[in-house]
Structure 1
Amino acid sequence: MDVHGPDTAAMTERLEQYVRHETPTGDAARLDALADLLLDRHHALGADVRRVDSETGDHLVMEHPGAGDKADDAPVLFVGHHDTVWPAGHLEDAMPWRIDDGVAHGPGVFDMKSGLVVMETALETVRARGVAHRPVRVVIVADEEVGSPSSTELVASCADGAAVALGFESPHPDGALKVGRRGSSRVRVSVRGRASHAALDPGAGVSAVDELVDQLVRVRALVADAPGEVLCNVGTLVGGGKTNVVPAEAGAEIGLRFLDAETERVVLDGLTGLHPVRSGADVITDVLTRRPTWTSGAGEQRLMDVVRAAAASVRQEVTRRPAAGAADTNTTGALGLPTVDGLGPRGAGAHAAHEQAVLASLPERAELVAALLTDL
């Protein structure tokens, strides 16, 4: 590590190493293999490290000590994930690792393995320079891409006692940081009816499909009457079988996005309170994953003032605006912890085949985060 600044070549080499470890969400063996590397890396940087067991891939918590007169201050929380949306095999087929004109390509290169490299390089930088800084608590989860069903409570517990939270997801396309995120919930509406012969004894049956259709009409009305804007997408429909059998089961998975907490509360209360339209049917609503709405406030404004000053000290400029997508920083921000996300490098194509990261922006981001750590 050059004490004068992050090394682009070293960061690129580490990024390639991480990208070549494919980590589809739910593939515990592959996720844990990369987790081993991440734990070793943070341990080498002086952290106390631990794994949090999960059947679908372990989550990681690393406690880096502070230094100087800030060693006993409340910690800064770093938030990230090591799972990706890409199935194993994409690296050797549709999305090979390559570098074209200073831009790295490959599965997970932008979302968010480059952010993990920025995170650890910033920690390495402040350690090499021997500057005073707060302790840093790092949480890296293995199921972010599916709504963090097994790690949301861990992220919330790691936020307890922290001074601020910094997220290392990708920034906006122009490099702007993300302050504020829509709430995001995934809901399953399950209907149970009663099967019967559709011609010989139709009156004995209760159609779960018909009931589901009526319930989805109710969902649309609930969304339309909500106090604020809601994005609602019915992503999956299941039910029925043979046309001569009244279907006994049906269901739908619904994705919801919210701009404000009150609208989120009203809609989710309405969905979990659905009741059958027809006698003999049962309707059950399960909230599969939920990331609460994060609306920026005074804490984020004060934090951004520090971020801007830190950026100026390393001859950078930063801007911010809310993000439509959800992430684990929804959890920290909704808890009232001042939070800024998007500290990963510039790039494009998150969740797309052209996923890419601009290599020159890796050391820039690491330098920004290192300066921020010394200013907080």
Structure 2
Amino acid sequence: MMIERLREYVGAETPTGDAAALNAFADRLGTRYAELGGTVRRMPTPTGDHLVADFPGRGPRATEAPLLFLAHHDTVWPIGQLQGAMPWREQDGAIHGPGVFDMKGGLVVFETALEQIAGRDHRPLRIVVVADEEIGSPSARSLVTAEAKGVYAAFGFEPPHPNGDLKTSRWGSTRVRIEVTGREAHAALDPASGVSAIDELVDQLIAVRRIVADHDEVLCNVGTITGGGRTNVVPGSAAADIGFRFVDPATEESVLRAVGELQPVRDAQLAVRVLSNRPAWQPSAATDELLAKVIAAGRSVGQEVGGAAATGAADTNLTGWLGIPTLDGLGPLGKGAHAVHEQVIAATLTERADLVAAIIKTI
């Protein structure tokens, strides 16, 4: 049953920014959560609706603080990927397909865990499913932080570490765009009157590299560069989107301040703006205590669970940054997030559902 539902979910392709596809998938999730006893709310945005579902507690624990679960229904893959380079495929115990690992497998795990706890006493539960997580959740940050108020703990359904360990902290992640406006001119007849926005952007990216080199443990990836139009025209505009990862808030503040203070080296205009930001979620005693409880829950269903820090960012950065005990990585084991060989190990779907059900029953 889990594999059939996962195939259904993977078959509904949901690239970030495709509001129609994302909203159709949110319809599916909303219907499913209602069937499982949830009260569903939609949070409309122009690029796709976010979903919140509250499931009441049961028995003497019905009035306790809720557990919060964080997930997303967008993927990095365009419509048509399923019919092209990444068809659904079950082979040698693995399931392949766009979004199967990041993170529609986690969505199926949560639903199955809800089925398993039917009739059992537990805290209230809340899940927030975000439509733009793959680009840093720019429209969902306020929603996640608002829905996290008063919860007992937060859990994410992102993929785990390769060995199955949960994620106990995450580096901060910030997306920055550098935009340059130069001055167009004929590249052969009047080059001196032009100002190359591309040349200026190249110099600014070299300056960014120097800033990063002055700080320890910073990851920097220039993800996109755009600009210009014709080789016989001095380019009048150029831009680059940069992804930064930071181990701690102090490093993040220092790097972003320096990048924001960049100055043009020629007669060009320079604009630097933050597109999205997830602050660093640092290790804490509260998360260590939560992990100990999850380890005990895992042993109750015959599983050994571990935890370790992670460099990748997700919406759990927000709850961890707020000081809420947080763990991520409850999705099934697999590999290839954001790669054409994306896959999950089929047997770990049920294992993860068993673990999540045990967490809900015991924590």
Could you say whether these structures have the same fold, taking a TM-score greater than 0.5 normalized by the shorter chain as the test? yes
1:28 is aligned to 19
Measured after TM superposition, the shift of residue 370 of structure 1 is: 1.2
The TM-score normalised by the length of structure 2 is: 0.94
The CA distance in 1 between the partners of 2:185 and 2:93, in whole Å, is 64
Residue 235 of structure 1 deviates from its aligned partner by 2.5
Supply the AA of the counterpart residue of 1:313. S
Change (3 A) 1:85 1:201: closer
Q: Which runs of 5 or more residues in structure 1 are unaligned?
A: 1-9
What is the letter of the counterpart of residue 212 of structure 2? V
2:35 corresponds in structure 1 to: 44
Residue 352 of structure 1 aligns to a residue whose secondary structure is coil
Residues 193/89 of structure 1: CA separation in 2 closer, same or farther (3 Å cut): closer
Partner of 2:53: 62
- The answer to whether the aligner puts 1:165 opposite 2:157 as a matched pair is no
Compute the displacement of 1:102 (Å): 3.0
For each residue in 1:2-25, what CA deviation from the matched residue of structure 2 results, as whole angstroms up to 9, or x when unmatched?
A: xxxxxxxx2122111111111122
Cα deviations by residue, 1:309-329 (Å, 9 ceiling, x for unpaired):
111111110111112221111
Q: Which residue in 1 is equivalent to 2:136?
A: 147
Q: Report SS of the residue matched to 1:25.
A: coil
Q: 2:239 is matched with which residue: 251, 265, 288?
A: 251
Q: 1:7 matched to which residue of 2? A: none
Aligned-partner SS, 1:90: coil
State how far apart, in whole Å, the 2-side matches of 1:169 and 1:347 are: 11
Q: 2: CA distance between counterparts of 1:250 and 1:90?
A: 29
Task: Choose which of 202, 223, 236 in structure 1 pairs with 2:224.
Answer: 236
Q: Give me the whole-angstrom Cα distance separating, in 2, the residues matched to 1:111 and 1:358.
A: 13
Pick one of 298, 305, 317 that aligns with 1:330: 317
Structure 2 partner of 1:138: 127
Which residue of 2 is the match for residue 304 of structure 1?
Answer: 291
**How much does 1:241 deviate?**
4.2
**What's the CA shift for 1:338?**
1.1
Query: Residue in 1 aligned with 2:355?
Result: 368
Q: SS of the counterpart of 2:179?
A: strand
Deviation at 1:116?
0.3
Name 1:349's counterpart in structure 2. 336
* Further displaced range: 264-273 or 206-215: 206-215
Percent of residue pairs bearing the same amino acid type? 60
1:119 is paired with a residue whose SS is: helix
Residue 159 of structure 1: how far off its partner (Å): 1.1
For 1:29, the aligned partner's letter is A
**Secondary structure in 2 aligned to 1:254?**
strand
CA distance in structure 2 between the partners assigned to 1:137 and 1:212 by the alignment: 45
C-alpha distance in 2 between matches for 1:198 and 1:94: 41
Question: What is the one-letter code of the residue matched to 1:41?
Answer: R
* Separation of aligned partners in 2, 1:237 and 1:351: 20
Q: Residues 109 and 239 from structure 1, CA distance in 2 versus in 1: closer, same or farther, beyond 3 angstroms?
A: closer
Deviates more, 1:346-355 or 1:33-42: 346-355
Q: Which residue of 2 aligns with 1:6?
A: none
Question: What is the aligned partner in structure 1 of residue 272 from structure 2?
Answer: 285
Secondary structure at the counterpart of residue 162 of structure 1: coil
1:369 is displaced (CA, Å) by 1.1
Asked if residue 214 in structure 1 is aligned to residue 203 in structure 2, the reply is yes
Give the whole-Å Cα distance in 2 for the aligned partners of 1:297 and 1:264.
Answer: 19
**Kindly tell me: are residues 64 and 208 of structure 1, through their superposed partners in 2, closer, same or farther at Cα, counting changes over 3 Å?**
same
Q: Does 1:80 align with 2:68?
A: no
Farther off after superposition, 204-213 or 311-320 = 204-213
- Counterparts of 2:154 and 2:104, CA distance in 1: 19
Give the equivalent residue in structure 1 for 2:115: 124
Partners of 2:179 and 2:293 in 1: CA distance: 48
Aligned residue in 2 for 1:315: 302
CA RMSD of aligned residues (A): 1.8
SS at match of 1:283: strand
Q: Give the secondary structure class of the aligned counterpart of 2:281.
A: coil
CA deviation profile, 1:181-214 (whole Å, cap 9, x unmatched): 1211111111123334556655544333333233
- The number of aligned residues is 363
TM-score (norm 1): 0.91
- Secondary structure (helix, strand or coil) at the match of 2:82 reads helix
Distance 1:94 1:276, change over 3 A: closer
